A = this chain, B = another copy of it.
């Protein structure tokens, strides 16, 4: 359905790979068309920077153990290899339920605190060819390790890798919690251009509704409404998640980094505010659409009423003079002087025509006074 995009796909309701009710929890059931996995590790401290793709988890573990005083950012893109995912559980001490949440990419944003790691689910919303894309990004934050997992090969974090390379900001000199902040903040920041796009659409729609409303406008309103519903669900949960991080007592997040997360929190509040405002605007656009439908009907009816009201009496008048009351009885020849004497006056026809002209002018004047000739 190319109309409003696939709504259920956006809402991420339920995926077929999810097994039937009654299945064991923590089951790793991959989709058939899952992307083959790509591993990429970026290791840095304030002085050093290594980054390269890896083929196997062994190499990754080796790297991590070799440089215990660096921050290691392990990226996994594509969930096509079940055994790799199971090894990740084993190597990084991750619960099977968590990996299930990573793979079933319809989770709400959330924070789960464990003794040795944090598990963070976040949603990445992007406008793609006019329809909303709604992907899931999962993060595991450990002492000097951040593990990010995503279903496809999206290059969203490229900008951050550039910042690491160029060594800008205090990213290079800080710990894994600041890296995770940087990653999460970059995701919340994607809401702003999204809202910008939606805001522009709302402005255009309002213009359209006031100038040339069509049935397609209604579909556009409906589409924005649905996108806002998706957005709202995401942002609410995102806000709760960042709030959970702020209130977290885990030693993995320093007070210093929480200061930055406070900033992210402010941004989510701001986004929520805007989404709520947009929802109100959208609701009022619906009202404007409905009123414009009524206005169109009014315009049509006014034209019909003006034309009818002018011509119906005229047609009656000419009907009168089309009656066949004769001047004299055709059989007896008796004169019938009361039968339509107007017909036989030299000025009968001209008089009737002038009378009708006068009538039209009076009617037009009345309509003009009533405002029926107005544009609105």
Contact = CB atoms under 8 A, between A and B. Distances in A.
Interface in A1-49: 1, 3-4, 7-8, 11, 13-14, 18, 20-27
B269 A18 contact: no
A296 interface: yes
A208 interface: no
Nearest to A21: B189
Interface string A196-221: 10011011001100100011101100
A200 B8 contact: yes
Interface residues of A, number: 132
Interface in A275-299: 277, 280-281, 284, 286-291, 293-298
Given A274-B11, A290-B290, A331-B327, A312 B312 contact: yes
Interface stretch (A81-89, A138-146, A314-322): A314-322
B222 A160 contact: no
Interface in A257-272: 259-260, 263, 266, 269-270
A308 B202 CA distance: 38
B284 A222 contact: yes
A282 B251 CA distance: 45
Contact of A25 (B169, B219, B316): B169
Interface stretch (A51-59, A68-76, A334-342): A334-342
A107 interface: yes
Given A293-B298, A343-B325, A376-B214, A159 B349 contact: no
A324 B343 contact: yes
Contact of A222 (B192, B199, B288): B288
Contacts of A298: 293, 296-297, 300
A260 B210 contact: no
